[in-house]
A and B are shown apart, each in its own frame.
Chain A
Amino acid sequence: MDSYETFEYDVLVVGAGGAGLRAVIAAREAGCSVGVVCKSLLGKAHTVMAEGGVAAALGNMKSPDGMNEPDSWKVHLTDTFKGGAFLNNPRTVEIFAKEAPDRVLELEQYGAVFDRTPEGLIAERPFGGHKYRRLNHVGDRTGLELIRTVQDKAVGVGMSVHMEVTLTRLLKDGDRVVGAFGYHRDSGNFVVFRAKAIVLATGGWGRMYQFTSNSWEGTGDGLQMAYEAGAELLDMEMIQFHPTGMAWPPGMRGILVTEGVRGEGGILKNNKGERFMFNPEYTPPLYKGQFAEDAAEAARWLDDKKNNRRPPELLPRDVVARAIYKEVEAGRGTEHKAVLLDVTHRGEQYIKRKLPSMYEQFHALGAVDITKEAMEVYPTIHYTMGGVWAEPEGCATTVPGLFAAGEVAAGLHGANRLGGNSLSDILVFGKRAGEGAAAYAQSTKLGTIDSSQITAELGILMQPLGASEGENPYKIHQELQENMQHDCMIARTEEGLTRALNKIQELKLRATKLKVAGTTAFNPGWHAARDLRFMLNTSEIIVRCALQRKESRGAQWRLDYPSLDAEWGKKNLVATKDGDSILIKERPLAEMSAELKAIVEEYK
């Protein structure tokens, strides 16, 4: 171990998106030395892709009668439970809804410059599944604002930033996580980190699908490192299909079209020009009567949100994604197997002011002028509700010394995440994870690392470079993507999932023998080899959980079990490593307190 470059910190934060950087700030303010590892350059993490806003019940918006919308953490909590089909961890949701407003206001103090209301407060926009206007935003580039803000603040409080380092294994001392091992992307040199506590903030995993809004980073390495270290993974079948990904041109397929377009009045149409979301069968019972039932009311809502109900385009994401899927399957899609999203009625000036980056994205990348033409959209893999179980108070995982926050963690969103909740999630639980890790670090010493762990990891990492024969990792990755896209997408069946599982097992076997040219120095082929193994195991866990949950709930839509099942609604699925196999257990969902039950009853 002495032969590797080694760094020591009280707290090591893995991942430098919003959750990671917010954890850095918290751990520093608690007095710890902090190192942060970014897979890319600082400030490029997936948080920049968030567009619509950060959900927090500030209650800044006024109705035409001059009264403020009666928003509160209680309504936000209720909306989050409803959106998540009640699979959420109740205490996690409670903390989240209560603390989100403070975390957003704090961003202002750090330097974020949100859009303003006429009264000079932070402007909030409507979004899917949120009863009131609640998405605090900066045009349609809220994620960029958020990451730059916490980045600048974290730089200000002081940290050691390790850019372009990929970690591939957590190192343990007995049961406890005490370090991490990985490589510098540019030089290919290996590096060891020793820390008293580690915060995992590595984001989600969408790259095993063909059409995804995720960047190259979304390969699930953080998730798999935690799994390898013995952490419990929760609700892994729950993967969000964002209803509106770009469907055309081909190179842009899957890139996100913000829900803000619908929040600003965008309407969905099929190839017959029908506004299909008005079809009553698309509105789930829980939301009956809460949405506009004709175009006239939906149009009035744009200017008077108090006396009119929201357009059905603003139903939660899982609902809208299923409706789009059904329209296209019924032959009512466009020639590119998509539906149309039209916001032209809001006028050129309004669109350019409220949705500038969408305008630019379609104009520059797709040669489409969204002020004059409709966009072609289709669901895209967007977000992972499932992940590493982290208790809500200090975000500790089930492995001592390991904490998790943000998309890699699970518990908050249940079976489906509401738009805008991810950005407040990373602030609320990024802070708590930083504090939790700091408190743990202050109560312990650095551990010792047995170097056999590093030797084992090196064996896996180096196999493809020395190989005289073997497969191209890109080829296997492509087959995995086709497999997951086809058989573990939005509509799932026992038959399809079983086929997916068999295919993954075949690919896993083939992936033990890979061959890559070149050296360890900035070699994307070599990186792809390790990423592939992470993605294969993640895919297997997803498919196994999807097979086991025999009901339709939130993002899990089983054609062979099309209804909600009350019994399944009381259970989470927990996946852990059991030797070489994946152990999946059913666990009773944490009980909601009487106080929270009463709140949900009142506001649902």
Chain B
Amino acid sequence: METITLRIFRGDASGGKLVDYKVETFPNMVVLDAIHSIQAEQDSTIACRWNCKAAKCGSCSAEIDGKPALMCKTQVHDCKGDVITVTPMRTFPLLKDLVTDVSWNYRMAAKIPPLTPRADVAGSPFNMQQIDVDRVQEFRKCIECFLCQNVCHVLREHERTDAFFGPRQMVRIASLEMHPMDDLNRREQLKGEAGVGFCNITKCCTEVCPESIHITDNAIIPLKERVVDDYFDPVRKGLVALGLIKKSKKAPLNSVPNDLTKIIV
């Protein structure tokens, strides 16, 4: 049996420190296994979120040797050196040890109106080709681990949670905006409170996505283009003014009630 050292952040909002724990490993052990073993045998007070342990639920997000990752998907043998450092996601307020308050993400999600089918298809089975839904399905792979939100420098360094919903919500809006049957014009929200303009395409979010969603290229950039089309393209503006094209065929966003849901933590 080989032994490794896990260096885990212990503490809360008032402060904390890194504490070392020795753990016996087994083949293909992941970081979450190591933490469970410490909880069962050494210290049951270590706070850590997890659910499925199969990279499907997105609960066990943390920073492993400084890199944002799922603890259930990171094998201890893939970590370099004898010591593995595990710290909580830095962007969100710390609750305890490895657990942070991610409720802000849910509050922003609640501001995004759900799918609103066009009148001609509402209530009857959709007829859509696979090729037309492929790009939406990519976005719907999101497991809401919030690692993309955690590395987004608009949120992490500049702390602009007041101005930008973050990559996760861009992916969500893209999944609705590109849905063949959706009838809401979401561009006003994108330009306004969702703040798509704040993203300057550093692609850090794409890099950490455990579902390999091309967040920047496939979601955010096309959304930026749509906002530019509607608000900043002088030719389009002229054509709309002359009545040659319509600004949007879709229903305005304010037709859907918003913020009915309360997230209580």
Using a CB–CB distance below 8 Å, which chain A residues touch chain B? 7, 40-46, 48-49, 105, 108-111, 113, 115-116, 119-122, 138-139, 141, 143-145, 148, 152-164, 184, 186, 215-217, 249-252, 255-256, 357, 360-361, 364-367, 472-474, 478, 516-518, 521-526, 528
Q: Are B59 and A44 in contact (CB under 8 A)?
A: yes
Interface 0/1 of B53-67, CB less than 8 Å to A: 111111100000000
Taking a contact as CB atoms under 8 Å apart, the answer to whether B45 and A523 are in contact is yes
14 A-B residue pairings within 8 Å (CB atoms): A49-B52, A105-B125, A110-B114, A111-B114, A116-B130, A120-B128, A143-B56, A158-B257, A162-B264, A364-B73, A472-B44, A517-B43, A523-B47, A524-B48
Give the complex CA separation of A160 and B107 in angstroms.
11
Asked if A186 and B45 sit within 8 Å, CB to CB, the answer is no
A-side contacts of B228, CB under 8 Å: none
Overall SS of chain B's interface: loop
* Chain A residues with CB below 8 A from B89, complex form: none
| Chain B residues positioned under 8 Å from A121 (CB to CB) | 125, 127
Cα A162 to Cα B47 with chains together (Å): 19
Most chain-A CB neighbours within 10 Å: which of B51, B101, B115, B176? B51
Chain A residues lying within 8 Å of B103, measured Cβ to Cβ, are 163
**How far apart are the CA atoms of A549 and B26 in the complex, in Å?**
40
Complex CA–CA separation, A216 to B54 (angstroms): 13
Please, how many angstroms separate the alpha-carbon atoms of A361 and B102 in the complex?
Answer: 26
Given A121-B125, A152-B115, A255-B54, 20 more A-B residue pairs with CB atoms under 8 Å apart are A41-B49, A48-B52, A49-B54, A110-B115, A113-B137, A119-B127, A120-B126, A138-B140, A141-B56, A156-B260, A157-B260, A163-B265, A164-B265, A215-B57, A251-B33, A256-B54, A365-B28, A365-B75, A518-B45, A522-B95
Which of B26, B40, B55, B127 contacts A251 (CB under 8 A)?
A: B26
Given known pairs A109-B122, A524-B45, the reply for A249 and B27 (CB within 8 Å) is yes
Given A110-B114, A113-B137, A249-B28, verify A474-B53 contact (CB < 8 Å).
no
Looking at the complex, which one of B97, B176, B257 makes contact with A522 (CB distance below 8 Å)?
B97
Q: Roughly how many angstroms separate A215 CA and B58 CA in the complex, as a whole number?
A: 13
The 6 lowest CB-CB distance pairs between A and B, nearest first, are: A525-B44, A158-B260, A249-B28, A111-B115, A518-B45, A522-B47
State whether A367 touches B97 (Cβ < 8 A).
no
Bound-complex Cα distance A333 to B143 (A): 35
Q: Are A251 and B28 in contact (CB under 8 A)?
A: yes
Contact A161 B52 (CB under 8 A): no
Closest to B77 in A: A367
B94 CB → nearest A CB, Å: 11
Instruction: Determine whether B136 belongs to the interface, using a CB cutoff of 8 Å to chain A.
Output: yes
**Complex alpha-carbon distance, A425 and B180, angstroms:** 28
A215–B144 CA distance with the chains assembled, in angstroms = 17
What residues of chain A lie closer than 8 Å to B136, measured between beta carbons? 113
Pick the residue among A40, A255, A472, A517 that contacts B59 (CB under 8 A). A40
Q: In the complex the two chains form, what is the Cα distance from A105 to B117 in whole Å?
A: 13
Cα A122 to Cα B59 in complex, Å, equals 30
Given contacts A49-B54, A217-B51, A524-B48, contact A113 B140 (CB under 8 A): yes
CB distance from A365 to the nearest CB of B (A): 7
CA distance A474 to B115 in the complex (A): 44
Tell me, rounded to whole Å, the shortest Cβ–Cβ distance linking A257 to chain B.
10
- Within 8 Å CB of A119, what residues of B? 127
Residues of B233-265 at the interface with A, using a CB-CB cut-off of 8 Å, are 256-257, 260-265
Shortest CB–CB separation between residue B136 and chain A, in angstroms? 5
Contact assessment for B28 and A161 in the assembled complex, using a CB-CB cutoff below 8 Å: no
B44 cross-chain contacts in A, Cβ below 8 A: 472-474, 516-518, 523-526, 528
B190 close to chain A: CB less than 8 A: no
Give the residues from 81 to 120 in chain B that come closer than 8 angstroms, CB to CB, to chain A.
95-97, 99, 101-103, 106, 109-110, 113-115, 117
Residues of B within 8 A of A216 (CB): 50-51
Q: Are the CB atoms of B143 and A161 closer together than 8 Å?
A: no
User: A188 — nearest CB in chain B belongs to which residue?
Assistant: B96
In the complex, what distance in Å separates the CA atom of A159 from the CA atom of B264? 10
164-195 of chain B: CB within 8 A of chain A: 175-176, 179
In the complex, A249 Cα to B101 Cα: how many Å?
Answer: 33
Please name all residues of chain B whose beta carbon is closer than 8 Å to the beta carbon of A366 when the two chains form the complex. Answer: 28
Residue among A120, A184, A367, A516 facing the most chain B CB atoms (10 A cut-off): A120
Flag whether B39 is at the interface (Cβ < 8 A): yes
B19 nearest CB across to chain A (Å): 14
Tell me if B141 is interfacial: C-beta within 8 Å of chain A: yes
Across the interface, do B114 and A44 meet the contact criterion of CB distance under 8 Å?
Answer: no
Which residue of B51, B55, B264 contacts A364 across the interface (Cβ within 8 Å)?
A: B55
B56 near A357: Cβ-Cβ < 8 Å: yes
A317 to B72, CA, bound (A): 27
Contact among A40, A145, A255, A474 with B39 in the assembled complex (CB-CB below 8 Å): A474
- Complex Cα–Cα for A328 and B246 (A): 68
Tell me if A160 and B261 are in contact (CB < 8 A).
Answer: yes
* Distance between Cα atoms of A162 and B130 in the complex (Å): 37
Given that A160-B261, A365-B28 are known contacts, is A478 also in contact with B40, CB under 8 Å in the complex? yes
Query: Using Cβ atoms and an 8 Å threshold, which residues of chain A touch B39?
Result: 474, 524-525
* Contact present for A160 and B264 (CB under 8 Å): yes
A327-B97 Cα distance, complex, nearest whole Å: 46
Residues in B whose Cβ lies below 8 Å from that of A113 = 133, 136-137, 140, 175, 179
Chain A residues in 8 Å Cβ range of B99: 186, 522
B156 to chain A minimum Cβ distance, whole angstroms, is 20
Q: A155-B114, A524-B45 are in contact. Are A120 and B127 (CB under 8 A)?
A: yes
Q: Quick one: CB contact mask for B118-150 with A, threshold 8 Å, 1 for yes? A: 000011011111100100110011111000000
Whether, in the assembled complex, B30 has its beta carbon less than 8 Å from a beta carbon of chain A, the answer is yes
Q: Chain A contacts of B58 at CB under 8 A?
A: 44
**Whole-angstrom distance between the Cβ of B103 and the nearest chain A Cβ:** 7
Contacts of A105 in B (CB 8 A): 125
Task: Report B-chain residues with C-beta under 8 Å of the C-beta of A155.
Answer: 109-110, 114, 260-261
Q: How far is the CB of B24 from chain A (nearest CB, A)?
A: 12
